[in-house]
Structure 1
Amino acid sequence: MSVVSEIDEADWALWRGFLTMHRDLMRELDGRLQRDAGISQADYSVLLTLFDATDRRLRPGALGEALGWEKSRLSHQLTRMAARGLVERAECTTDGRGSWVVLTRDGRRTLLHALRDHAASIRSLFLDALGPDEKRAMARASERVLERLDEAAGREATERAAS
């Protein structure tokens, strides 16, 4: 296979190590959120995004964009969270067809309860495992990969528009 031969053994090991680390770290962080705050990583992401938003509300499209989620995933997640009283949907007075996703008082309380323990878990499981040089290297690498992804998305959008 020519594609496989373009990546040497050391790079494959790096890639597999990265994937395993990410999977296991997310699994552990999610388990701790479930145990400590009774919410999932997905719940936490929605709550935090709404908490940071102006007036603690966002249009569904803007929320999906901020999270990088497909419309159907967001819709299902919001339905589950609304049933638990963490978010609510409100009509948009300026657009009769539109709506807002609003952080509720219970959602805010749940997020604030989760924040301290979640931050401590991120610190102990990830940040404290890295030295200052490793943190800078990871930050630089993350920026470069994200730039490449943005460039690829821009090229794809241009190609779609041209066809």
Structure 2
Amino acid sequence: MEHTRWLDDTEQQTWRAFLAAQRLVSEKVERRLQAGAGMPQAYYEILVRLSEAPDRTLRMSVLADSAMSSRSRVSHAVARMEQTGWIERRACPSDRRGQLAVLTDEGFRVLADAAPDHVESVREAVFDALSPAQQAALRDACETVVAHLSDGAEWPVSEDAGPDGPDAVRAS
């Protein structure tokens, strides 16, 4: 039987601080996004990913990977956003089984309208409390954990790594 590698006092304090910060930031940002834009953070993230993609289009599998979500969860969210007119699904021309998610003009407008308040909530919840050095340390730590837990996979997903011109909404 393996020996349990218990957290020492400093590690325990770090873990609990991480959990509390993650929950408080998520709750604050989610609450404000719901109140202001009437959408959950998961929908906002999908809209951002599509706004950054070439032609505002991604394969559903790439969209799920880039949003770090399950394919079924993204498929359900996209179906709901199709009903609102924010996203369209299309058949993938290069793969008959694949589907593409396409951000509509209405979806882009909704995202562009939501972005300023969302960015302000993120700034208030995280960046206003941190010095530039703390911001750099937070980014480094988070990227290290993401790389560790994603089996070294590239992050962000390469097919979705950058904005598609001046049109993209950079507000995740």
Q: Which range, TM-score by smaller chain?
A: 0.7 to 0.9
Unaligned runs of 5+ in 1: 154-163
1:91 aligns with 2:54: no
Shift of the alpha carbon at 1:150?
4.4
Judged with a 3 Å threshold, the aligned counterparts in structure 2 of structure 1 residues 101 and 152 are, in CA distance, closer, same or farther, namely: closer
Secondary structure, counterpart of 1:69 in structure 2: coil
If each structure's helix is expressed as a fraction of its own residues, which one has the higher value?
1
Give matches, 1:1-163, under 5 Å: 2-3=3-4, 6-151=6-151
Count, aligned residues = 152
Q: What SS does the corresponding residue of 1:58 show, helix, strand or coil?
A: strand
Distance 1:78 1:151, change over 3 A: closer
Taking the aligned partners of 2:136 and 2:93, their CA distance within structure 1 comes to: 46
Structure 2 partner of 1:160: none
Equivalent in the alignment of 1:158: none
Cα separation, 2, equivalents of 1:117 and 1:15: 30
Q: Distance in 1 between matches of 2:92 and 2:24?
A: 40
Higher RCO (CA-CA < 8 Å; seq separation 6+): 2
- Which structure has the larger Rg over C-alpha atoms? 1
For structure 2, the 5+ residue unaligned runs are 154-172
In the aligned structure 1, how far is the partner of 2:150 from the partner of 2:25? 25
Deviation at 1:79, TM superposition (A): 1.2
- The residue type equivalent to 2:139 in the other structure is A
Whole-angstrom CA distance in 2 between matches of 1:146 and 1:84: 32
Deviations 1:26-60 (A, max 9, x none): 11101111111111100100000000000001111
Q: 1:97 to 1:149 in 2, by over 3 A?
A: closer
